[in-house]
Amino acid sequence: MHSPAPQTVPDVAISRVRYKVLGFGVCLAAITYLDRVCISITAPDIMRELSLSPLQMSFVFSAFTIAYGVFEIPTGWWGDRVGTRRVLTRIVSWWSFFTMATAAAFNYSSLLVVRFLFGVGEAGAWPNAAKTFSRWFPSSERGTAQGIFFMGAHLAGGLTPLLVTALLARFNWRMVFLIFGAVGFVWAGAWYRWFRDDPSQHPGVSQAELEHIQSGRLADSGEHGRVPWKIILRSRSILALCGMYFTQSYAFYFYITWFPTYLRSQGFSSTTLSILTGLPLILSVAADLLGGLTTDAVSRRYGLRWGRCGVGGGSLAVAGVAILGSAVSQNPLLSALLIGVGGASSAFLLGASWGVCVDIAGKHAGVVTGCMNTAGQIGGTLSPIIVTLVFDHFKTWNAPLVLTGLLYLAGAACWVAVNPSDRVEA
């Protein structure tokens, strides 16, 4: 008698390399926020040692964002052209160096230059992550992948205030930047050694997983070709996404720049302040994951229009109402909690917004996501400065909060003009 042939496990059940790619992406996102949020927590020590005024510190915050915005599209285009393996390795190595170089700042000018160059180096990180996901995940999984990616960023950002506070108890602010900068070099080395630009090039990807990935993405030879700028600049959907992301990022940069200062003005203890500082980002962790799952689930059931635009617009509408509620509340703790809810609600749309960009962009994912994120960085650049000027004029934190809430509502309205079927062709 012959023994029955052993049953084999389907290839797709064995190969899950795309999830490891996502794991690298989550670590990348976490490191970016570790470095970004660090400066908002160390700002009082930096201002005291370097004799900086609040307005000067606002320009330090914005120096990073200006450079980040200017170089976002070129670096996204570069990733489209040569692949994200090399480009992300360069990005992370560069920004890690200038995170460490922040520790060497000796006056206002030197700090401005270092933070500007930090922004130059980090520009393009997220468009290249989106480009990576567009090559490694089918459309039905991209919203979830983007949501998990941002979950890693916001979890790191939410925990950073506690981590920095603990480190500052033992080290000065310069040593904190040296420690955080070193982490990125480890990631860059591991990424370059393991990752491949296309799943077909990775030895660990099975044929079944490769077919699953390719069945759910637009045909793409891997050649980038000419960027269809006329189509991009005339696309109502892309312009609306840029307007929406401007408002989302404007508010976000308030959370990672002046929000700790706002909380100090409300009289919270140092422990409570550390917890509340990280609250918007901690709440965003759940919102990122749930938002990514929701946009993909709704898209599968009701189509991309509802899955992307409905989720995105509803998220910003709720965020706007929450921030306006924080401005009228007379209870400092309730106001802080509402600001946290607003931040989390605005994060709920990230899977939808980056997912729809990739849906529209096809092989130009790096450029199109770079356009949207550049608009966001313009909002982020203006945010610390406008918050400072509005507060100085009205002498109350309610004024910048009301402005932020109204911008959120304007961003929600932008989603009406977005059509996920408005493809970029070239």
Cα–Cα distances in Å, from 235 out to 240, 249, 354, 372?
9, 21, 16, 12
Percent of the chain at pLDDT > 70 equals 94
SS3 content of the chain, % helix, strand, coil (to 5): 85, 0, 15
pLDDT at 217: 63
Please give the full DSSP string across 50-81, using - where no structure is assigned.
Answer: HT--HHHHHHHHHHHHHHHHHHHHHHHHHHHH
Sequence-distant (6+) residues with CB within 8 A of 213 are 18, 136, 137, 138, 199
- Nearest partner of 277 among 302, 300, 253, 260, judged by Cα: 260
Write the pLDDT tens digit of every residue in 278-295.
788 788 888 988 998 999
Question: Does residue 113 surpass a pLDDT of 50?
Answer: yes
Compute the distance between CA of residue 35 and CA of residue 19 in angstroms, rounded to an integer. Answer: 25
Retrieve residue 348's tokens. 């709920």
pLDDT at 6: 40
Mean pLDDT of the residues in the chain: 87
- Nearest partner of 138 among 213, 211, 222, judged by Cα: 213
Q: Domains in the chain, ordered, with CATH?
A: 13-417 (1.20.1250.20)
Contact between residue 128 and residue 366 where contact means Cβ atoms under 8 Å apart: yes
Please give the full DSSP string across 10-36, using - where no structure is assigned.
Answer: PHHHH--HHHHHHHHHHHHHHHHHHHH
Rounded to two decimals, what is the model's pTM? 0.75
Q: Given CA atoms 236, 242, 246, 249 in this order, what sign does their dihedral have?
A: positive
Cα–Cα distances in Å, from 387 out to 220, 257, 305, 358?
44, 10, 34, 32
Contact between residue 390 and residue 275 where contact means Cβ atoms under 8 Å apart: no
Work out the widest C-alpha separation in the chain, in whole angstroms: 92
DSSP 8-class letter at 102: G
Write the pLDDT tens digit of every residue in 181-227.
898 999 999 999 999 999 999 999 888 888 888 876 655 545 556 77
Tokens 């401007």 belong to 246
Contact between residue 116 and residue 64 where contact means Cβ atoms under 8 Å apart: yes
Q: What mean pLDDT do residues 244-257 have?
A: 90
Q: What mean pLDDT do residues 415-419 have?
A: 94
- Nearest partner of 370 among 271, 378, 206, 293, judged by Cα: 378
Compute the distance between CA of residue 6 and CA of residue 253 in angstroms, rounded to an integer. Answer: 57
Write the pLDDT tens digit of every residue in 131-189.
899 889 987 888 888 889 888 888 887 788 888 888 988 999 999 999 998 989 999 99
